[in-house]
Amino acid sequence: MNISALACSAILIAGCGNAPEKTGQVQAVDTSALAHVQASMTRVDREIELDGIVEAVNRATVSAQTSGQIESLPFDVGDVVPAGSVIARITDTQQQAGVNAARAQLQEAKARFNEANQQLKRIEEVFAKGAVSQAEFDQVKAAQQSAAARVDSAQAALNDAVQRLDYTIVVAPYSGIVVRRLVDVGATVAPGTPLLEGIALDNLRVRVNVPQQYIAPLRSHRQARVVTDAGQSIAAAQLRIPPSADVQSQSFAVLAELPAQQEAGLLPGTLVKVAFAIGSGEQIILPDSAIARRGEITGVYVDEKGVLSFRYVRTGTTLGDGTTVILAGLSDGQQVISDPVAAANVYKQQRVAISQ
């Protein structure tokens, strides 16, 4: 324990006796060097705090889109995967053969089309001179059109074969982390076989079961903030409130979406507190740094014309801007020392002169 903490503890013990201090018995000291903050009534949101579970908005199971054997799985459970990274390779022998066959069929179809096209050009010249009948001309023209259609069909077959070959390399649809590996290297897969399950950590939300009596003010205010274990407050980007409640619990599964790229270190599946605004009112607020907390003792140092006194306070909600609501123990307009450690050192300079 450092010297400042020892000093504060000693002062708290001295200031927490059963007999209240009398201003006339305490010698005033110079408090001009201490930073002060005035306790003033401020309009703040009235909130309720409920437990919520963090979950990922983007959670997907990547499945195979072609047949073959798993050749490699570069990532395992817990690995961070950048978007576009190869997460699985499937043997491509059958797919490569399909591409080669489709390419050969396309070349054959093009050759037949060229032949039919040349034949059409020759008969057009003869037809123009009236040397062949209309029926013969129509027959050659139909053959040329049929050959052109076979080229289109062969090209579509080649495109499909190339796509099947591309499916042998599976890439991550977005940046995230692998949470489940559903196949092993060497396993035979078919279209639809699940391979890996992953989640994106840059797009999270919190699911909260809200009792029905709070839904009306929630719909009216639509404000919430997520409070982490470390005390960090994150304003929800959006609230999604379902139109109906769960039949069994009579609660609403409200989703509080977190801002993208939040840096609080939240992970899916963890428990957090969510503070929902349900109204507003006038309350005293103080900076967190001005409140002294020693075990179960919570108080502040009040300056009354150079005389310091330690006041027990009852605190309420910790707000997102580094301030805390004071429910009891302070009055509007009182001067509070911003630094409790510095106040404790000055407090020791006061000498109580008890009259006989």
Euclidean distance between CA atoms 312 and 293, whole angstroms: 10
Nearest by Cα to 94 from 189, 197, 26: 189
Tokens encoding 232: 């960090």
Count of C-beta atoms within a 10 Å radius of residue 82: 9
Q: Who has greater pLDDT, 88 or 349?
A: 88
- CATH number at 143 reads 2.40.50.100
Q: Given 199, 233, 256, which residue is the final one in a domain? A: 199
The answer to whether 3 and 297 are in contact (CB under 8 A) is no
Q: Is residue 161 scored above 80 in pLDDT?
A: yes
- CATH number at 39 reads 2.40.420.20
Q: Is residue 194 scored above 80 in pLDDT?
A: yes
Determine the pLDDT at residue 264.
62
Tally of domains within the chain: 3
Examine residue 356 and state whether it is found in any structural domain, yes or no.
Answer: no
Burial of 52 (0-12, 13-18, 19+ CB in 10 A): buried
What pLDDT digit, counting tens, does each position of 97-147 carry? 999 999 999 999 999 999 888 888 888 877 777 777 888 888 888 988 999
Q: Given 183, 199, 215, which residue is the final one in a domain? A: 199
pLDDT average, residue stretch 11-21: 43
* Local confidence band at 28 (pLDDT 50, 70, 90 cut-offs): low
* 120 and 220 both lie in a single domain: no
Examine residue 328 and state whether it is found in any structural domain, yes or no.
Answer: yes
pTM over 0.85: no
Q: Who has greater pLDDT, 286 or 244?
A: 244
Examine residue 354 and state whether it is found in any structural domain, yes or no.
Answer: no
Determine the pLDDT at residue 24.
47
* 336 and 237 both lie in a single domain: no
Q: Is residue 320 scored above 70 in pLDDT?
A: no
Nearest by Cα to 162 from 71, 101, 108, 83: 101
Range of the domain at 224: 50-58+201-278
Q: Given 278, 308, 336, which residue is the final one in a domain? A: 278
Type of residue found at 227: V
Examine residue 352 and state whether it is found in any structural domain, yes or no.
Answer: no
Examine residue 130 and state whether it is found in any structural domain, yes or no.
Answer: yes
User: Which of 33-47, 69-83, 171-185 has the weakest average pLDDT?
Assistant: 33-47
pLDDT average, residue stretch 259-271: 77
Q: What are phi and psi of 164, to 5 degrees?
A: -65, -35
Examine residue 240 and state whether it is found in any structural domain, yes or no.
Answer: yes
- CATH number at 259 reads 2.40.30.170
User: Which of 23-32, 64-73, 226-235 has the weakest average pLDDT?
Assistant: 23-32
Examine residue 117 and state whether it is found in any structural domain, yes or no.
Answer: yes
User: Which of 51-65, 104-118, 266-280 has the weakest average pLDDT?
Assistant: 266-280
* Local confidence band at 13 (pLDDT 50, 70, 90 cut-offs): very low
Question: What count of residues does the chain have?
Answer: 356
Examine residue 226 and state whether it is found in any structural domain, yes or no.
Answer: yes
Q: Is residue 195 scored above 70 in pLDDT?
A: yes
What pLDDT digit, counting tens, does each position of 296-311 carry? 888 888 888 777 778 7
* 75 and 176 both lie in a single domain: yes
* 63 and 150 both lie in a single domain: yes
Determine the pLDDT at residue 261.
63
Determine the pLDDT at residue 178.
92
* 264 and 328 both lie in a single domain: no
* 124 and 242 both lie in a single domain: no
pLDDT average, residue stretch 206-213: 93
Count of C-beta atoms within a 10 Å radius of residue 320: 15
Type of residue found at 238: Q
* 165 and 234 both lie in a single domain: no
Determine the pLDDT at residue 22.
45
* 208 and 295 both lie in a single domain: no
* Local confidence band at 29 (pLDDT 50, 70, 90 cut-offs): low
Euclidean distance between CA atoms 348 and 350, whole angstroms: 5
* 162 and 186 both lie in a single domain: yes
* 83 and 149 both lie in a single domain: yes
The rounded mean pLDDT for the chain is 82
* 108 and 159 both lie in a single domain: yes
* 147 and 209 both lie in a single domain: no
